[in-house]
Each structure stands twice: as C-alpha cells, then as structure tokens.
DNA sequence: CAAACATATACCCATATAGGCATGCGTCAA
DNA sequence: TTGACGCATGCCTATATGGGTATATGTTTG
C-alpha cells in the first residue's frame, strides 16, 4: 500500500508545509485564491489543489464572491490533532526534568546517542513550520 | 515532486496512524519490537520500519537489551506540532460560541442565506493578525 | 560450535503525491 | 457579444510510501 491520502484526515492534510502556510495566511481572515498565490509565491493551480485538500478534510470553507472564491479557515478538524499531541505534553515536560540525569547515565555510552538526544531537545524547542 | 518524506519532521511522521499507535503504546514505557508487533498486530518488519521513521525524526530512542531493542518515546519533537496547532485553538472556540448564539435568529431561513450569514460572522470574528 | 531467537534490511509492487503546464468554465467589463 | 479575468481540473512525471516476503546481522542457549 502507498501512503494514506492527504485527504484522509487533518493529520495528513497538515503534514504539508504549504498547506500550513495557507492556513496561517487564512487565519487573518478570508482570502481569495489570487491573494494566496501572491502571498505564498506558488502557482495558482497548486494553490487551488492545496485548497481542495484542505476543503476535503474540512479545514477550509469557501464562499463565492463574483468571479473570485473566498476561502476561510475552519479550525475544528484541528482539535483532534491537538488532542492527540496534547497527551504527550506531560511526557516532554518530564523529559526536561530528567534530562540531566539521563545524560549522566549515557556518559559512558557512545557519543552518537548523546548527540541524538541533545539534538532532539534543541530541535523540539524551536517553533513550528519547520523548513 | 512527490510528497515530503515521512522522515522530514514530526508532522509527517505522525501523519501515519500506525506510528501514532506505536507512540501511544510506548507512552506507557519502554517496549521491545516484539511487544509492539504483538500489540499492533503488524508484521515485525513493518514495525521496525515505522520505528526507523520515528527514530529519524527523534520521536523514539532505542536501547539495547540483550538480543532485544527497547524503544521509548521522546515527545520533544511534538512540541512543534502542538505549538502550531495550538495557534488555532482560539479560532475553533470562538467559532462555535458565536454561531450558536445567532442560529436562533436564523431559524426558518433558507440554508443558502444561513450560510452567508455564518460566513459574515466568522469573517467578523477573525479580526486578529493581518501579517 | 550449532540452533533458536530478536531485529534490521533488501527487494518488489501499487498507489498517490506535488509541481509544471495547458485548458475548461463561469463572471464581469467594454 | 467578445474578451479579459479568476479559479478549477486534467494530464504528465519523479518520487517515496507501506505492506509483503526473504534474508542478513547479532545474541543467547544447548
């Protein structure tokens, strides 16, 4: 089997950076396709396709306005994502408390592992929309 | 171009349901690959592959234990996801509050009109950040 | 040492992606 | 009405996926 369709759920739809950018842009209010293409620096067909995906998972809604189509965010489907990820909040907090202790235990282990962990910590701290 | 690699970031890694299940299972504590295959009802190679992806994005860490390999969660990379999704919490809350309040006035109206009005409401709501 | 066990990899395949490009379709202007 | 505009779709390609199956690597036991 191939990867699950991007239209399967919010998890998959939002995995694409461009689509996150689109949502971020729409967070400020309704925008037409043309506005988005300009903001994102993407070609119009690509924007329309991303919007289609977002629409199919319910993350955006459309409204006709003359010859334009105004899109707006519907954050509801993100609740599921937030809920799932939220369960791990406890874990990543605990982790920071214990990190020092863990590093000590690893003192004798291979450097590779230590580096990995330290890297993960720093990476995790930085804000969203990687790239 | 094809879809971004699953190992690109936590967003992509976690888009796969199986991998979320793996993390959920590991949330209870360290588990060996064999334990996971049994819990998930997946074939061993598939589990190993999913674990590889999770490892590459730093969501799990490994520890050798005899001929077994014990995996554990590192939730840190999920912070980025949580942070991004969290920005929308405000939106999905406001939305439902206001919609409910006005729905009464709309009782009896045609759907088309109702939709338009709802749109206006949302548009008005999202006054925040313009960029 | 050989055999059993635990895990990781290597392949093979069907599938859907994301972008590039061309075009179809509805809407507004002259 | 014709043409310009705004957007959606269709088609094409390279790529990576996730599962299936076979096998390599490493570890413990007899």
Give residue-wise pLDDT tens across range A40-77: 999 999 999 999 999 999 999 999 999 999 999 999 99
Domain A10-77, CATH number (from 1.20.1290.10, 2.60.40.3710, 3.40.50.300, 1.10.10.10): 1.10.10.10
pLDDT value, residue A96: 53
Please list the residue range(s) of chain A that carry CATH number 1.10.10.10.
10-77
pLDDT value, residue B55: 97
Residue with tokens 């060996």: B32
Kindly determine whether residue B79 and residue A92, on different chains, have CB atoms separated by under 8 Å: yes
> Is the CATH number 3.50.50.60 carried by domain B10-75?
no
- Helix and strand numbers (H, E) in chain B are 7, 3
Q: Is B41 helix (H, G, I), strand (E, B) or coil?
A: coil
pLDDT value, residue A1: 80
Instruction: Look up residue A2 and give its two tokens.
Output: 């191939």
Question: In Å, what is the CA distance from A78 to each residue of A29, A50, B90?
Answer: 17, 17, 11
d(CA A68, CA A117): 49
* Residue A82 approaches strand D within 7 Å at CB: no
Cβ-based contacts of A17 with chain B (< 8 Å): 4
**CA distance to partner chain B, nearest, from residue A26 (Å):** 9
Q: Where does A1-131 have alpha helices with state H?
A: 10-13, 17-26, 33-40, 44-56, 78-86, 89-105, 111-125
Kindly determine whether residue A82 and residue B86, on different chains, have CB atoms separated by under 8 Å: yes
Q: Is B71 helix (H, G, I), strand (E, B) or coil?
A: strand
pLDDT value, residue B96: 53
Kindly determine whether residue A27 and residue B130, on different chains, have CB atoms separated by under 8 Å: no
pLDDT at A110 over 70: no
- Strand C neighbours among B 42-101, CB < 7 A: 44-45, 47-49, 51-52, 62, 67-69
Kindly determine whether residue B6 and residue A3, on different chains, have CB atoms separated by under 8 Å: yes
Q: Which nucleotides of D are covered by protein (CB under 7 A)?
A: 5-10, 14-23, 26-28
H-run or E-run covering B55:
helix B44-56
pLDDT value, residue B116: 35
Strands A31-32 and A68-73: antiparallel
**CA distance to partner chain A, nearest, from residue B104 (Å):** 21
d(CA A102, CA A118): 11
Q: Which of B6, B58, B123 sits opposite A72 (nearest CB)?
A: B123
Cβ-based contacts of A130 with chain B (< 8 Å): 8-9, 11, 80
pLDDT value, residue B98: 55
* Residue A6 approaches strand C within 7 Å at CB: yes
Kindly determine whether residue B92 and residue A78, on different chains, have CB atoms separated by under 8 Å: yes
pLDDT value, residue B99: 53
Please list the residue range(s) of chain B that carry CATH number 1.10.10.10.
10-75
**CA distance to partner chain B, nearest, from residue A75 (Å):** 5
**Beta strands per DSSP E along chain B:** 31-32, 60-65, 68-73
d(CA B79, CA B59): 11
Q: How high is the mean pLDDT in each 10-residue block of chain B (131 residues)? A: 93 98 97 97 97 98 96 97 96 66 44 36 32 27
**Per-residue model confidence as pLDDT tens digits over A84-95:** 999 999 998 875
Interface test with A, best of B8, B60, B70, B75 (most A CBs within 10 A): B75
């Amino acid at each position: 089997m191939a990867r699950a369709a991007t239209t399967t759920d919010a998890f998959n739809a939002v995995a694409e950076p461009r689509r996150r950018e689109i949502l971020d842009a729409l967070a400020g209010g309704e925008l037409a396709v043309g506005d988005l293409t300009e903001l994102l620096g993407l070609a119009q067909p690509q924007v329309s396709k991303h919007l289609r995906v977002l629409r199919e998972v319910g993350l955006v809604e459309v409204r006709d306005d003359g010859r334009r189509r105004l899109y707006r965010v519907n954050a509801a489907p993100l609740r599921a994502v937030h809920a799932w990820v939220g369960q791990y909040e406890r874990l990543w907090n605990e982790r920071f408390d214990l990190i020092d202790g863990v590093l000590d235990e690893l003192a004798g282990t291979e450097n590779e592992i230590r580096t990995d962990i330290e890297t993960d910590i720093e990476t995790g701290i930085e804000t969203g929309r990687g790239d």
